[in-house]
A = this chain, B = another copy of it.
Amino acid sequence: MREDVERMLREQQQRLCERLERVDGAARFGRDAWQRAGGGGGLTRVLEGGRVFERAGVNHSTVFGDAPDSLRPLLSTVAGGGAASGQFFVTSLSTVIHPRNPMVPTIHANYRYFEVVPEVGATSWWFAGGTDLTPSYLFAQDAREFHDFHRRICDAFDPAWYPRFKQSCDDYFFLPHRGEHRGIGGIFFDRLDDRAPRELFDFVTRCAAGIGECYLPIVERRREQPFADAQRAWQLLRRGRYVEFNLMYDRGTTFGLRTNGRVESILMSLPPLAGWSYAVQAAQDSAEAALQEVLRTPRDWASAAGEAEGDAR
């Protein structure tokens, strides 16, 4: 399973970078291969200063070895409180795309396979991940298509998954000090292990392949939409909130930075440019106020099961 997931995520990384480069038409992804002293390494791919994408990161990594101190609590949990040491393995694909045009949303996706092997006791494994959308301006069509897309993927495996993963996504991407969610959500799941590994592998493969499929139609629809300086300024403020979430609350970021993770790979999630301004108030009934409203109160975007028309592609 380790090799299968790793190969699949690498293939998806390569495919996604190719598709994004085609859509951008100007900038290319770099290739930065790195090794981890304790075991494993990764390939960080970042595109900057594109025509469509201002910054995009698509990172793959596989790291393993002796479980560091930071994993001790997890190790102890999975081993039923017994083990004080052991091995870990994680292979993951992590993507954040910050487009230039404020009408195009930012997308984030992360899929990973985890194994913990306590010195005494049985190996634990699970899948985790999700994909979520962060618009600066709300387009209901985009939000509905994005959620319908993920509902359909989930429904093919278990109709209970989409509502659960959608809720987890809303719960996770929340900035308490702003009383706002980071974006309009998507799906998010942690420690998914209650099916046959092969079935979950198929699900995660479908999700990872879906990153480009769900996002690029939205990009194509919005990329040439005209925008004013004030809308660019609003996008920069929204990106400021994105920075606040990632540096203060995102578990992957804070955990990674505090445990000697590879800083540049972790922080590729941050926007190329972000802004802050004092006590900004969106004008009543403005597009900016409409976005804030859905960030404060997440909406059910997906059609009821069976209602969605056709396929998102």
Contact = CB atoms under 8 A, between A and B. Distances in A.
A263 B48 contact: no
A264 B247 contact: no
Given A177-B258, A177-B263, A178-B263, A48 B277 contact: yes
A14 interface: no
A247 B257 contact: no
A-side interface mostly: mixed
Nearest to A236: B273
Copies in the complex: 2
Contacts of A277: 48, 55, 272
A32 B257 contact: no
A278 interface: yes
A276 B274 CA distance: 9
Contact of A278 (B46, B257, B275): B46
Nearest to A260: B177
B236 A278 contact: no
Interface size class of A (residues with CB under 8 A): 20 to 34
Contacts of A48: 277-278
Given A55-B277, A55-B278, A264-B278, 15 more contacts: A32-B279, A44-B278, A46-B278, A46-B279, A48-B277, A57-B278, A177-B257, A177-B263, A243-B243, A243-B247, A247-B247, A247-B248, A248-B248, A271-B276, A272-B275
28 contacts: A30-B278, A32-B278, A44-B278, A46-B278, A48-B277, A48-B278, A55-B276, A55-B277, A55-B278, A57-B278, A176-B257, A176-B258, A178-B263, A236-B273, A243-B243, A243-B247, A243-B274, A247-B247, A247-B248, A264-B278, A264-B279, A267-B276, A268-B278, A271-B276, A272-B277, A274-B274, A274-B275, A274-B276
